[in-house]
A and B are shown apart, each in its own frame.
Chain A
């Protein structure tokens, strides 16, 4: 138990959950560990009346968490949508931990997920030995959640092939899963619901059918609200990864993080930060996660092939690679941005030159 790299949320925050539970006098939906109000409190953090401090799990708008929790009290499932790095999986795990005290009932969506992973499979040894019976049934996390009135999680829902996705329709609308082999069905207990996460700007994914879409309430998790917040997140992650790769952090790095995040935010919002100039928006998602990877490749370039000092030239190529995703439209967007915004900023001359050389 000690050597585990990472604990589940319900183990890591056992104390907080227990403290909230002790305080919680509000009405709980059936089979919920906490009341909806306390779940929001757990996610957003705060100080309880007995002085116990709950750490914030989600940094952002409280109303989004309220919508998410309120959705789980209805018979619709919850779909968390957003670009990479907006804490979708993180929120989903903590929601499950707070609502049903168990965040382990998870199905990781990939192109290879089959219907068995969502419904049930068979233990063939048992099946051959005893014939079809409940004992021979291999229960999926979804089925387990139904039987016990818990939250099931599906990560990266849109990566699952469409026909397999649609298996969920029966589960979500009927709240029953037929087992025709045994001529029976398994009914979901109260408290059962599903939280799915998906990436809304990925290409080549399987869009939800409208029938399935209708069974989900969609909450879009936005990118960080302010420049400072985003710089902080990027800096933190760059530092963590740098430690892992034994890359030294130079002072110049913070300045570059600010520039990269500024560029990302401006292009993402289609507006300069001073709100003076509108910009075209490139086709890529320009997520915080990508800003982090731009910084990392820049740092590693400067350490291994440069003079160790992070310069604009080290960043330019990965920066351009992150912005230009569509070969036709995006170069125009990027060049306009270079010529009308980057060029005009006096202390950005080095970046302008470095980018000009490459485009």
Chain B
């Protein structure tokens, strides 16, 4: 909109169509001065524009010097009109000025706001709108997507510049409608007053052709006739704070981040494609053809079979859908639906693969090496200073005493860095578990600095950034063990919000998993945390509730699961049962223990379960004195009876006795059953079973084995009547002794 030689270009932030229109309009108008929406503090950053190391997506970052956590990001992509304007001004050597309210004031105002009590009647602020203000217009006009609306505007206004007039008019109507209902926020008024002053000043400086590039929302306000005095009066005495500006790398997945220019965009990958498509001259392919082909290639990389024939049909269906809906070319939803029908066979699940890689895109930006320090780096440096750690490239070991504040803080810091995959330190053996000491091996590497710059995306302080990063990571975790591992790291790194989220995710995952062994493996770890972990700031009740729900699910599914495992896995399962049993005993909660023991009883009595599991169930019950010694003896007799398969019997024995030499020493009844069984074996059966028996007995400590032998020699149980017939050949019997030594694992020959 050209008024008094000032060209007002109302843009759509991050709109590729808008970027193209702006670029064309600027070239035609050839301004001698450009005013661009953005805080003036960004001026020194413009110098980097021609640096090839500055690759979008990048963001201008402004933060308060005294508190880096107060920060604002202005993301730029190659399809942002602002980015294209910067490049145009740089290439054409036209002076460019950022003419928004300085962040020095904005941040200070925000501080003041945070202290004040919020109003009931929320005033309108373009930065708080959930979408770009232009998209509101697009939605009223019946478009899902603002981009398509822009395309239509451009088509209807073939003369460059007319489209900006139309947009200014439409926006004027929108603003007056909104203003009738809700007042403009204070900040909005300051900003627009500042912009008007900047325009007046530019004219006063003698520029003849000024281009004003700003969000379409602001154009009506800039056109209003307001006396310079009024604006100056409004801006008098604004609070101020010292801030720093820098470029940081950004990613497409963070473009949706609500900051800087207000609402982000949901499908930067799509917009990037539109921009690229718009740059083609002549057109090499249609939008739908190009996009659907791209999607098909991505799906093929994920091992989905997408034939070229179905790509062609998907493009045709998308085109037909668009015609049926009275528009052309197809918009993203037409294409998504066509792809769902053709590629997903009607099902949307398969296309989920495309969400991150196609619609959002995986592009990551890059900034020049010589950029000033980012707030995350500053926060990090400040923290290591306060805990007295130095960035040393030499490897060394430090011992931390967790009882002291400094020790704990150092430990938390190192654990937080580990979450960022910055292994400055790794923990090394600290002799014994559960002590208050941690030994860390630390070594600083220069690429950590770079990693810290990249991690600025996640937040401006180490605590907020690691938390955001951990949360994003947790959402990707797919096994209980991975989530539990994450939870433990989060506890160590003292990130309570992420811990809460991890518990939620754990809960959901536990509810949907069909893998009982996952649950079995998770429960002891959780109990450990409940019992010993210091769960700072987390709800211990939530943890306990999780343990309870895990226990309920285990109780329901265990019997069934135990029937399905083979001999190899049965051993792992038996060990897992023991671990769960110990954990539940540790908690000592009757409501959990009683049903658990019921399940064990049922398991012990079930047929068709691997012997090692049944034996283990008896052992756990016997240890807890949940069943009588007599019942165990009975079960052993049955399990080792002739009808049983020898290997099943031996497995059962292994389950019962593994690592329990002492128990056998003191349990007469058990020993008697075992003894009776062995003595009653027919020779060939004894031969068959001896190796299996030895497998169990060899796990006992030497002392225990000796004790057992001793006991058997003196026990009344032993039928101590050597064969009394005269032709017993002691010499020949002695020949067998070395073999016996070997079998029994003790030196029988000595006795």
Contact = CB atoms under 8 A, between A and B. Distances in A.
A76 interface: yes
Dominant secondary structure of chain B at its interface with chain A: helix
Nearest to B341: A217
Given A70-B317, A217-B341, A220-B346, A280 B552 contact: no
Given A214-B307, A218-B341, A280-B512, A67 B317 contact: yes
Interface string B314-356: 0011001101111000000100011001100111000000000
A270 interface: yes
A328 interface: yes
Interface string B30-67: 00000000000000000000000000000000000000
Interface string A259-294: 000000000001000000111110000000000000
Interface in A321-359: 328-329, 331-332, 335-336, 339-340
A217 B549 contact: no
Interface string A62-86: 0100110111011010010100000
A214 B549 CA distance: 45
A336 B556 contact: yes
A335 B514 CA distance: 13
A218 B342 CA distance: 7
A37 interface: yes
A230 B208 CA distance: 68
B608 to A, nearest CB: 13
B181 to A, nearest CB: 31
Interface in A208-257: 213-214, 217-220
Interface in B653-697: none
Given A279-B511, A328-B560, A336-B556, A217 B342 contact: yes
A218 B346 contact: yes
Contacts of B316: 74
A36 interface: yes
A217 B313 contact: yes
Contacts of B553: 336
A220 B508 CA distance: 27
Given A219-B346, A220-B347, A66 B324 contact: yes
B345 A218 contact: yes
A218 B317 CA distance: 12
A95 interface: no
A69 B323 CA distance: 11
A9 B653 CA distance: 73
A315 interface: no
Interface string B524-565: 000000000000000000000000010011001100100000
B310 interface: yes
Nearest to B325: A66
A339 B345 contact: no
Contacts of A36: 320, 323-324
A66 B340 CA distance: 13
Contacts of B508: 278
A279 B512 contact: yes
A73 B309 contact: no
Given A220-B346, A339-B556, A340-B552, A37 B324 contact: yes
Contact of B321 (A66, A81, A280, A335): A66
A40 interface: yes
Given A218-B346, A219-B346, A40 B324 contact: yes
A339 B514 contact: no
A71 B338 CA distance: 9
Interface residues of B, number: 31
Nearest to A279: B511
A6 to B, nearest CB: 29
Given A220-B347, A332-B557, A339-B556, A69 B324 contact: yes
Nearest to A210: B305
Interface string A35-73: 011001000000000000000000000010011011101
Nearest to A71: B317
A335 B345 contact: no
Given A336-B553, A340-B549, A213 B511 contact: no
Interface in B399-422: none
Interface centre among A70, A214, A220 (most CB of B within 10 A): A70
A37 B325 CA distance: 8
Interface in B478-530: 507-508, 511-512, 514
Given A270-B512, A339-B552, A340-B549, A74 B321 contact: no
B483 to A, nearest CB: 14
A74 B556 contact: no
Contacts of B342: 217
B341 A335 contact: no
Nearest to B552: A339
Contacts of B514: 280, 329, 332
A353 B313 CA distance: 55
A73 B325 CA distance: 14
A108 B345 CA distance: 23
Nearest to A81: B346
B84 to A, nearest CB: 35
A335 B558 CA distance: 13
B556 A67 contact: no
Contacts of A220: 346-347
Q: Which of B333, B345, B508, B560 has the most CB of A within 10 A?
A: B345
Interface of B: 307, 309-310, 313, 316-317, 320-321, 323-326, 333, 337-338, 341-342, 345-347, 507-508, 511-512, 514, 549, 552-553, 556-557, 560
Closest 7 CB pairs of A and B: A218-B346, A220-B346, A278-B511, A70-B320, A278-B508, A70-B321, A218-B345
Given A329-B514, A332-B560, 16 more contacts: A67-B317, A67-B321, A69-B324, A73-B324, A81-B346, A213-B345, A214-B309, A217-B317, A217-B346, A218-B345, A278-B508, A331-B560, A332-B514, A336-B556, A339-B556, A340-B511
